Structure 1
Amino acid sequence: AARSGHPVIKTRAPLVVRWDDGRPSLHGFVFGLGAFVRVTSMSKKVNALGAFHSLSVALTLAGGVIGTLMGGARDRWRAGVPLCMAIDGEETRTADRFVVMATTLKRLPLGLKPFGPPREGLKFLDVDAPPKHLPGALPALLSGRDAAWLPGLGYRRGDAQTIRITTDQPLVVDGEVYDGAGGVTVVLAPALRFLAA
């Protein structure tokens, strides 16, 4: 329909980040902590050099992977950030995390599928720090393959209604870095309607 020149209405549900300290809630489509904050900062530098969209994603991902693979367990890329996290009211896990991400997007650039097969809803990726066997895990993670051995190595992904996080680390919502001090709750928001030309 968009190719015929007629506008198309698309529906997408964002996520909402609610702060424990009463700050105004944030709406967005991508949330992250840990290595995701570093990758976001790197992406801004790549964009400043004139690379945008898929090229920016590819260069940033490559930089993040190289930084992680080349560093030792205590390297800032691999060391992770301390946080407490609970999915849908489960028992809270307190540990250093390499990366925590959540999204409501069905598809990501370059066909990447770190949350598993494309689907609607709130999805998460939670990786322990330092990441174990990353060179072997990365192909399964990025392609969305359901490898039964991933959770045993500290790579968890799935669907959620509520993600509860307590940390003093910065976090990212849609490419902007925020002070994450205290606690946040991430939930699925009601769907929004967009007009696509």
Structure 2
Amino acid sequence: MATPIYEFAQIPRVDPAAPARARTRKVRAAGQAPTVGVIYNPRSHRNLGADFDCSLSPHVHIAQPRARAQLPEALADFAAKGIDLLVINGGDGTVRDVLTCGQAIFGDDWPEIAVLPKGKTNALTIDLGIPDDWTLQDAIDALDQGGRVWRRPIAVSPAEDGASAAGMSRVAGFILGAGAFTKATQAGQSAHKLGAFDSMVVAVTGVWALLQSLFASRANPWRKGARMRIGLGASGVPMEHSGHGDPEMRQLLFASTLERLPAGIRPFGALKNGLKLVAVDQISRRTTALIPLVLLGKLRGGLRERGIHQLTASHFTLSIDDQFILDGEAFPAGDYLIGQGPELAFVTP
């Protein structure tokens, strides 16, 4: 369920006037097995093409969509069956695709969700505290015996069509980045080929990005970043600029609704809840050398003056002349509205 560029024209379009399909709801009797729907991505790194034993239980329904276009049908079938638990077996990209295609099916009435960390990157499961060896049976047991973590995904829609576009073509995910983040994602693909995954990828690409930024000129893509305009809140107040480098450029943009990130990094400082973003101007080499302290949350004072902006926003607009990344995949340059989707309940151990 992946292509090199995920164009908005390929997203299943939803009539904003049509409500999401009603999910069949059933009350489980004491001791009754839950009805479970599993979206299984056989292409995910840790699945290695292996198949589930589909005779696990008559209450467990497994779908293996081979393309994004098949996801809505699979999710609609789960909704009709009145599933108690939706299990996503795959990495962050699979989660993004399921949440994107599920908007037309579930709206704001999603079943509880469990995620099995089977991809090359599994930032969401790191945030949720899911162990690498979590199994389908573990997830089913946790529905009654485990905990819950609530998260709202980032929702990205094209801005040029106005507010109505948000209901017609919207992508949902958890980590968005641009500028040097796009370069880091490309470098991360090379790290994957070398056998680095999850937090190791963050460490490897982080060190490489730091070295590039320390020793390269501002013409280097790692320091140059991308031309972007960021408008905050309903009135679209322009994000301030420190004056370091070209005021039309940002070296990096990173946004997420997750609260714990791979490798223990804390790019948002003390900010924890909601939609958080950090924008980095074309900062000096001296400030670049302090980035490890910023990522560890050890340096907080005077960051804005140095060109590092950490803040929360209900939503923001982004006009960018380069690709940006959402959960590991590139999206084209353009004008976008970035907000939050519905609050989802994730099952945890």
- TM norm structure 1: 0.88
Write the mapping of 1:151-166 to structure 2, written as runs, cut at 5 A.
151-166=304-319
Shift of 1:136: 4.2
Does 1:111 find its partner at 2:264?
yes
Cα displacement string for residues 51-106 of structure 1 (whole angstroms, at most 9, x for unaligned residues): 11121221111111111112112222111211111122353256200001110000
What's the counterpart of residue 187 of structure 2? 42
What's the counterpart of residue 15 of structure 1? 154
Q: Secondary structure of the equivalent of 1:133?
A: helix
Cα displacement string for residues 116-146 of structure 1 (whole angstroms, at most 9, x for unaligned residues): 1262211000111245533443134212246
Q: Which of 201, 208, 218 in structure 2 is aligned with 1:56?
A: 201
Report which stretch shifted further, 8-17 or 29-38: 8-17
Cα displacement string for residues 22-63 of structure 1 (whole angstroms, at most 9, x for unaligned residues): 572110010111000000111111112221112122111111
Q: Segments of 4+ in structure 1 off by > 6 A?
A: none
Q: Secondary structure of the equivalent of 1:52?
A: coil
Q: Which of 215, 223, 226 in structure 2 is aligned with 1:70?
A: 215
Q: Distance in 2 between matches of 1:193 and 1:10?
A: 6
Report which stretch shifted further, 17-26 or 151-160: 17-26
- Unmatched runs of 5 consecutive residues or more in structure 2: 1-129, 132-137, 240-246
* Equivalent AA in structure 1 for residue 200 of structure 2: L
- Of structures 1 and 2, the one with the larger relative CO (CA 8 A, separation 6+) is 1
Rg larger in structure: 2
Matched positions, count? 194
- Unmatched runs of 5 consecutive residues or more in structure 1: none
Q: Distance in 1 between matches of 2:288 and 2:315?
A: 30
Q: Which structure shows the higher strand fraction? A: 1
Q: CA RMSD in A?
A: 2.2
Distance 1:131 1:98, change over 3 A: farther
- TM norm structure 2: 0.52
Q: Percent identity?
A: 26
Shift of 1:19: 1.0
